[in-house]
């Protein structure tokens, strides 16, 4: 759907919004491409207020567990803390599919070691590796 190449030391969570902005899924019958997924699953790293606000604003359903300290702060604030986040364990269990795909991409030596100096060349490498994985399935 969308790939975003960043420096290695950057975290995943701040990149959620830029990646979501790049998603374009073509419709079979033509017309404007879809820009919103039906559902988004993420781990605790994506549990920031900024990410949740963005997903709510775009009306994207999500399954992201709440961090323990965020839950404690919300409960400490009482009724002003807001309601608990909805969390479905059965949907969350499917998150391992994304983790396995990421690990399969890292089995390609050029992706795992990143010998490419230019970001656009590495983007092409990851794209080709993704296509090879997709065709193998």
Helices (H), 1-137: 16-22, 49-57, 68-76, 89-92, 96-106, 109-113, 119-136
pLDDT: which is higher, 115 or 33: 33
| pTM of the model as a whole | 0.75
Question: Of the candidates 66, 71, 63, 60, which has an alpha carbon nearest to the alpha carbon of residue 90?
Answer: 63
**Alpha-carbon gap, residue 47 to 32, rounded angstroms:** 30
**Alpha-carbon gap, residue 58 to 40, rounded angstroms:** 12
Quote the pLDDT of residue 33. Answer: 92
Q: How many residues does the chain have?
A: 137
pLDDT tens digits, residue range 70-110? Answer: 888 777 777 777 766 777 888 888 888 888 888 999 999 99
Q: How confident is the model at residue 137 (pLDDT cuts 50, 70, 90)?
A: low
pLDDT tens digits, residue range 2-45? Answer: 888 887 778 888 888 998 999 898 899 989 998 998 888 888 88
Tokens describing residue 137 = 């399935």
Distant-in-sequence, close-in-space partners of 39: CB < 8 Å, separation ≥ 6: 60, 61, 62, 63, 91
pLDDT: which is higher, 111 or 1: 111
Tokens describing residue 37 = 């997924």
**Alpha-carbon gap, residue 43 to 16, rounded angstroms:** 12
């Amino acid at each position: 759907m969308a790939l975003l190449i960043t420096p290695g030391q950057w975290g995943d969570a701040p990149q959620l919004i830029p990646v979501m902005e790049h998603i374009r899924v073509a419709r079979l019958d033509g017309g404007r491409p879809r820009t919103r997924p039906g559902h988004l699953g993420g781990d605790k790293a994506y549990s920031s207020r900024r990410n949740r606000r963005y997903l709510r604003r775009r009306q994207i359903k999500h399954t992201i567990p709440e961090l323990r300290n965020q839950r404690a702060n919300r409960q400490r604030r009482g009724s002003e803390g807001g309601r608990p986040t909805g969390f479905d364990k059965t949907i969350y269990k499917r998150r391992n599919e994304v983790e396995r795909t990421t690990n399969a991409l890292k089995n390609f030596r050029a992706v795992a070691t990143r010998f490419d100096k230019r970001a656009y060349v590495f983007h092409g490498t990851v794209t080709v590796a993704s296509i090879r994985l997709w065709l193998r399935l």
